[in-house]
Each structure stands twice: as C-alpha cells, then as structure tokens.
Structure 1
C-alpha cells in the first residue's frame, strides 16, 4: 500500500510540475491575469479572458493543475479523488498535508474493500459453477434411471402343469378315475409289450 501511495504522490507532483510549466509558458506569452487567483474558480474566470483560444486552453489546464479543490455552494471546498471515485471536504483550495493523509488512508481502505469484494465475487461464481455441475450430474443420474426403467424385464415362463401320471398319489382322491388311470395305463402298456414284443433289429452285414 505504501508503494501505491508513493506512486500516487509522485503522479500529483508530476501534474503540479506540468501545471507550473504551463503557467510559466502562459506568462511568457501574455499576462492573462492581473493578480494571483486564490482558487480554481477565480483562476478559471481569469483564463476565460485570455486573448486566444490556445491561451485560454493553456490557462485552464494550469488552473486545473494549480488548484485541486472546488468551491462548495455553502462555503468551503471539496476535493474529488478519481482513483476512488469519492469527494472529500477540505478547508482550502488544495488539501493540507493532514487532509492528504486522510485521503491516502481512505484510498488504502478502498483498495482493501475492492479486494474483498472481488474475492467474494469469485467465491460466489465458483459456488454457482459447482451447483450447476452438481445439478448436471443429478440430471444425468435421473436420465440413466429412466432409461433403465424403460428396458423390458423378461417375463418368467409359466410352470408346465404336471401330467396326471406325474402327480403324487397323495394329491388325488383314492378310487377316483384321475387317480386310478395312471396305474391302469401302465398295466395296459405292459400287456401290449407282452403280446407284441419289439422285433429285434437284423444284424448288419459286414
């Protein structure tokens, strides 16, 4: 911060030096005032009386460099610091050394506030990006679950009902046709095999 204030003061010195050069140049060309002005407004009024446009422009630039303060309607002066876009009340047409210290201290506070504001803005932007990424991941998960739900699930085949012959004896009523038929069917098959034996296959000739 001290380096910033030093640069700021150096800039003011350069501006003052430039104003002194313009003042000297203006005096060399023409005496555009009769007495030394006490503030910017009086200096500007005298500059308006310059003979040529170039002299008027040079004189106004000198007034701006010579006096930093501007008259206030209710009395006193105000100083506008363009670096922090703020106006300070001062006692005379230029800030005193004590007033300049207060202005510099305010500028240091202004820089710290701007830094905190920038950090807060960056943190908010980072948080917003993280929330957007989280929402995007959640939407992807919902889309995947929806796609899985749309895939048809294979239907289980119905179990084939057991034939009458495969039913357990305890599952039928004793003496009923459905219960006695398997036994009778097996007996008939045995009789068929007895009277109609299966002919043996002829041996293959070599």
Structure 2
C-alpha cells in the first residue's frame, strides 16, 4: 500500500517533468530547422515581426549592417555607395573582394575628377574676377578722361601794350593809331627838348 501511495503522489511530478522536457526539446528543434536570412530583404521581413518598435528598429539596423546589397527586380543585387552617389551591380547580397576593389578604384577616380572640377571652377572664378577688375579700371579711366574734358580750358591772356605806347616788334601798324603815331611824336618832342635845353659844352682842358 505504501508503495502504491508513493507512486500516486509522484505521478504528477513525473508528468510535469515530462511535459517540460518535451516543450524544451520542441523549442530547440524549431531553432535548429529555422534558417538564417540570406539577404537584406529576408532579414527585414523577419524584423517586421518583432514584438516592439524598439526591437524592430534594432533588428533592421542589424540587417543593414549584415547586408550591403539590395535585390534587383530582374535578379542579382545592387550596392549603393553614398560617397560617390552611385550604384554598382554585384552578384550576391554583399560585394565580393574583387567587386569591392572595383568600387574602391571607382571612388579614387571620382575623387580625382572632383579635384579637377574644383580646380577648373577656381580658375574660372579667378579669371572672371580679373576681368571684372580690368573692366572697373577701364570704366574709371573713361570717367576720369570725360571729367577732364568737361573742365573748360582758360583762354590765353592777351598781351598788354607797354605804357610807352610802343607797338610790339613786327606787329602791323594801322594808320592813325596811337601805336603808329607815337614814335614820330616822340622824336618831335625830343627835338623841342634839345632846343630849350642845349647840351652844355665841355670845358676846355688846361694845358
């Protein structure tokens, strides 16, 4: 009797232990047959089934870190390089070493082309600046020359006759003008002065 009672008391514990074992075994089997996502799209589909928004965001970030390529509608994958703002065709969900080498070489050529463009842009800007400076200088010179031309040139000051009334040498003589008659009158006055004021004779030297 004591043995039967003990078995009856132990039966619920055995059943519970067996159920726990079966559940654990089933969960492990489910994890074993569930395969990992092969590309970003499968990984993103699984992330969409996350229980919370935070888990979904973390799962999508993990998908983006694992897979660089994206599916193409016609098959294959593309890789977007944001540094070049360009996409590259790749065979799988991630670039192979050879494909990555070609992407890096393209980026090197992109940098060289960008440097040439920058140098050409700087040279053009410098040329335009020099042309603008030359045009400004030309406009300034034209404005200065125009301003000089607007200033009136003073007329030559006329020559004033001497107070003696003598006309300038070589100047034409107009009959009846003072400048022509003055020399004749001056000689006549000198003759009258000599008549009234004779020149004193020199005293004779004593021997």
TM-score, normalising length: structure 2 = 0.65
1:1-206 to 2 correspondences below 5 Å: 34-158=34-158, 166=167, 185-186=185-186, 188-190=188-190, 192-193=192-193
Over 3 Å counting, the alpha-carbon distance change for 1:181 and 1:58 in structure 2 is: closer
SS in structure 2 of the partner of residue 89 of structure 1: strand
SS of residue matched to 2:157: coil
**What's the counterpart of residue 9 of structure 1?**
none
Deviation readout 1:70-127 (Å, 9 max, x if unpaired): 0111211110001111100111111111111110000000110111111111111111
Looking at structure 2, the residues matched to 167 and 139 of structure 1 have their Cα atoms a distance apart, in angstroms, of 49
Note closer, same or farther for the CA distance 1:144–1:184 as it changes in structure 2 (3 Å cut): closer
Rounded Cα–Cα distance in structure 1 between residues aligned with 2:186 and 2:57? 132
CA distance in 2, matches of 1:57, 1:168: 115
Using a 3 Å threshold, how does the CA distance of structure 1 residues 151 and 183 change in structure 2: closer, same or farther?
A: closer
Deviation of residue 36 (structure 1)? 0.9
On the 8 A contact 2:161/2:168 being kept in 1, the answer is no
Going from structure 1 to structure 2, the CA distance change for 1:60 and 1:153 (only over 3 Å counts) comes to: same
Partner of 1:25: none
RCO greater where, 1 or 2, for CA within 8 Å and sep 6 or more? 1
The count of aligned residue pairs is 164
Query: How many Å separate the matches in 1 of 2:115 and 2:169?
Result: 89
What do the CA deviations read for 1:128-158 (whole angstroms, capped 9, x no partner)? 2211222222222222222322332121134
SS of 2:43 mapped into structure 1: helix
Question: How far apart are residue 188 of structure 1 and its match?
Answer: 4.5
| 61-70 or 137-146, which deviates more | 137-146
Alpha-carbon spacing, 1:44–1:185, altered in 2? closer, same or farther (3 Å): same
User: If you compute each CA radius of gyration, which structure gives the higher value, 1 or 2?
Assistant: 2
CA RMSD of aligned residues (A): 3.4
Question: 1:177 Cα deviation (Å)?
Answer: 7.4
